[in-house]
Structure 1
Amino acid sequence: MIRNPRRRTEPLDHAELACLLPAPADPRLAADRRRLLEEHLMNEIHRSDPAPAPAPAPAPVRRPVRRAALIAAPVAAAVALAVVVSLGASPDTATVAAPRLVKAPVVQIEEGSAVKVTSTVRELAAAATANAAPRPGPGQYIYIKSRVSFMASSFNGDTGESATWVQPLHDREVWRSPDGAKGWLDEPGYQAKGGIALGSGDPLKQQTCTWLAAQPADPDALLKFAYSTAGGARDRDQQAFNEIGSIIREQLVPSGLAGALYEAAGKIPGVVVVEHAQDASDRDGIALARLDPQTGERSEWIFDRESHQYLGSRGVQIREVNGVKPGTVVERTAIVTRAVVDANKQHPGAGRAKA
């Protein structure tokens, strides 16, 4: 079913909105961050009240949560819609009351080191190459279950006070056909009851199993591709790092290609090794990380210290930007299960799911 945003019945106060929102450095956003904002809008479609929205209040303003993508939209428009527009759902769609946000955890910042990047990447690549990932066959689906939590900051325009909140840790289940044409997302509390369908309209063609299987396991070629996705005035090195990170999060990457992706990431200037980082399941591992010079957030990919398998990710604020204090954990994820199943919405070890 196609759902369209309900139009406002009164003009938008653009001057007021401009005061509430920080001006973007560039209208384009890195692929993974764009996708996180875009899915927030999809969530709003499924859980918002169908009545027209009142005029925006001057405070507080919440920054949208960040997650993997479902739809495409310019980032400036995405932020504006998330702040001032209530998107209408169809009458037969169950609305979702999202759980109350909680205070973001704060951790002691551990300094990253560039000295061990080469040796760590070599170990990660060797482990990935040695452990063959399952390959989906015709009619099968890739299933990923994870635990996630993402940020939603608030800013009071009257007092200048800000606070950083996060979603409670919760489950997220994704099914995708190898070509990305079909799929399902179930995220209780953040999607309509039972989940929502994913399809070929999602901007993930470069993250499908079929696309990945056709790529060469060549670090230089993959690095060139990652940089080709960068644009605008944002840091190109960070955009390339984010692009590789978006590929490994919710996908079954062929073993040889996974190793080459890690090697490609290790060649990006500014990448460091963080000796201790915890994923959303509190598993302590070693991380490949990079500090975004614009947002002040360090993105960390966390790996098991012994097996070197990917565990999840974490975002830690390293320097204060827009009121987000250093040490704040602005996002956490943890992979619970990666598997191949025989049908959409089927769980590993279960019989075929009903259509």
Structure 2
Amino acid sequence: MTRKFWKRTEPLDHAELARLLPAPSDPRMTPDRQLLFEEHLLNEIRTPAPKATARPVRRALLITVPVTAAALAGVLALGALTPGTGPNGEPASVEAAVVPIEAGSTVQLVSTVQRIATAATKQPTPEPKPGQYIYVKSEVSYQSSSHNADTGEEKTWVQPLHPREIWKSPDGLKGWLDEPGYQDEGGVPLGQDAPGSKPVNGKDIPGKAPSHLSYDWLKAQPTNPDALLKSIYATAGNTRDRDQRAFQEIKSIVNEQLVPARTAAALYRAAAKIPGVVVVENSEDATGRAGLALARVDERYGERTELVFDRTTFAYLGSRGVQVTEYDGVKPGTVTERTAILERAVVDARKTRPTTHGTA
């Protein structure tokens, strides 16, 4: 039997029946786990998270929206779901791949980042105008897990690789996400138009959605790597591991944002200045494109986040998460997430796709 999390909601007139039956299980998050989910939500409040997780979600950064108490409660109610199940009937999960763990090194870090930054400055980037949207198409897969209540066996599962399309306004206040099988049919609005994005009581964060990490925010940032890194750290907030949070923010930016060329070059140079960042010589994105990676291990959870670049052109391909030390039943070498960026473009309206292929 595989455990599912649920809550008891019997009316009072069923009290007699309740006394005759075993009490239903009501698994609770530990205080540490609840704090982790709260921290994740407040620092990475985006679109709905993957439907099942037993660890902090390394979801792609989306458009920041104000937090409502209801939204926070919804996230904290998430539990581990059986593979192949979910409230929206998403496709069946598959067992996570396991890869050899290659040690990273700082020996080639400076020269590698120099090549990546040089390539970024040569990458043409269209300029979005007010009213237009930044479009990013990718293939993604994220982690879930299952726990067998009878045997105590833990298994890590991942979503099958599937398409994901996102539209963002330059100011970061509006957008759309289409992820068939994992969001509502046809997609969901983001930013100010997203359900639950408006504060409903005095305890919620007031005002409009902040636009940090939007295109406009990026365009206004300094192109000096040290100054830019300072701004990235400021977005990380007072988290337990600000270095890891900053690296995750950079990954989120390059995954689903259009970054001006000079800013992109500074962003990669800034990433190399974060303590713990190394070069991994052999990695690959979600579609199997091989490359090298800038990577950093989350020391608390033992997961390494890898930003994958083409070995010849040094163009950004996508990201990968690999467990390097066992944590919460997830074995070393387990691939916990995969993304591949297929296209970036500027379009005139959300839900509109480019008529010609943009850049990747």
- TM-score normalised by length of structure 2: 0.78
Is 1:296 matched up with 2:302?
yes
Post-superposition offset of 1:348 = 1.0
User: Quick one: distance in 2 between partners of 1:210 and 1:84?
Assistant: 38
Deviation at 1:13, TM superposition (A): 8.8
Alignment of 1:92-171 (within 5 A): 96-171=88-163
Tell me, yes or no, if structure 1 residue 205 matches structure 2 residue 211.
Answer: yes
Distance in structure 2 (CA, Å) of the matches to 1:308 and 1:13? 54
**Structure 1 pair 185/194, CA: closer, same or farther in 2 (3 Å)?**
same
Distance in 1 separating the partners of 2:136 and 2:110: 29
CA pair 297-63 structure 1, distance change in 2 beyond 3 A: closer
Q: Measure, in 2, the Cα distance between the counterparts of 1:164 and 1:212.
A: 36
**Alignment-derived partner of residue 39 in structure 1:** 48
Aligned runs of 1:249-328 on 2, under 5 Å?
Answer: 249-328=255-334
Are 1:83 and 2:79 counterparts? yes
Q: How does 1:171-182 map to 2 (within 5 A)?
A: 171-182=163-174
Count of aligned positions: 316
Structure 1 unaligned residues grouped into runs of 5+: 1-6, 45-59, 86-94, 351-355
Seen in structure 2, the aligned counterparts of structure 1 residues 129 and 30 have a Cα distance that, compared at 3 Å, is farther
2:347 corresponds to: 341
**Closer, same or farther: CA 152–64 of 1 in aligned 2, 3 Å:** farther
- Cα offset for 1:205? 1.4
CA drift of 1:63 comes to: 5.7
Q: CA deviation at 1:342?
A: 1.8
TM-aligned CA deviation for residue 76 of structure 1: 8.1
Normalising by structure 1, we get a TM-score of 0.79
1:66 shift after superposition: 4.6
Distance 1:84 1:306, change over 3 A: closer
Distance 1:126 1:269, change over 3 A: same
Q: Deviations over 1:70-114 (max 9, x none)?
A: 6547998555311299xxxxxxxxx84200010001111111111
Deviation, 1:295, is 0.8
Deviation at 1:216, TM superposition (A): 1.2
* Equivalent position amino acid for 2:268 in 1: Y
Once the two structures are superposed, residues 115-154 of structure 1 have per-residue CA deviations (whole angstroms, 9 ceiling, x without a partner) of: 1111111111111112231111232211100000000012
Shift of 1:230: 3.5
CA 220–61 in structure 1, closer or farther in 2 if over 3 Å, else same: closer
1:329 corresponding residue in structure 2: 335
| Runs of 4+ with >4 A deviation | 10-15, 24-28, 30-33, 60-66, 69-79, 201-204
Gaps of 5+ in 2: 1-6, 12-22, 82-86, 198-208
**2:184 aligned with 1:192, yes or no?**
yes
Partner amino acid, structure 1, of 2:212 = Q
Q: Is the 8 A contact 2:80 2:144 kept in 1?
A: no
Q: Distance in 1 between matches of 2:37 and 2:340?
A: 30
Q: Distance in 2 between matches of 1:61 and 1:302?
A: 24
1:186-211 C-alpha deviation (Å, 9 max, x unpaired):
11111111111123366661121111
Q: By how many angstroms is 1:248 displaced?
A: 1.4
Over the matched positions of the two proteins, sequence identity in percent amounts to 53
Match of 1:9 in 2: 9
Q: What residue identity is the alignment partner of 1:270?
A: G
Q: Give the partner amino acid of 1:166.
A: V
Contact 1:296 1:317 in 2 (8 A): yes
Asked if the contact 1:219–1:260 (Cα under 8 Å) also holds between the matched residues in 2, the reply is yes
Q: Which amino acid aligns with 2:132?
A: Q
Q: Closer, same or farther in 2 for the Cα pair 1:219/1:109, shift >3 Å? A: same
Question: Are the structure 2 counterparts of residues 253 and 61 from structure 1 closer, same or farther at C-alpha, using a change threshold of 3 Å?
Answer: closer
Contact 1:64 1:82 (C-alpha < 8 Å) held by counterparts: no
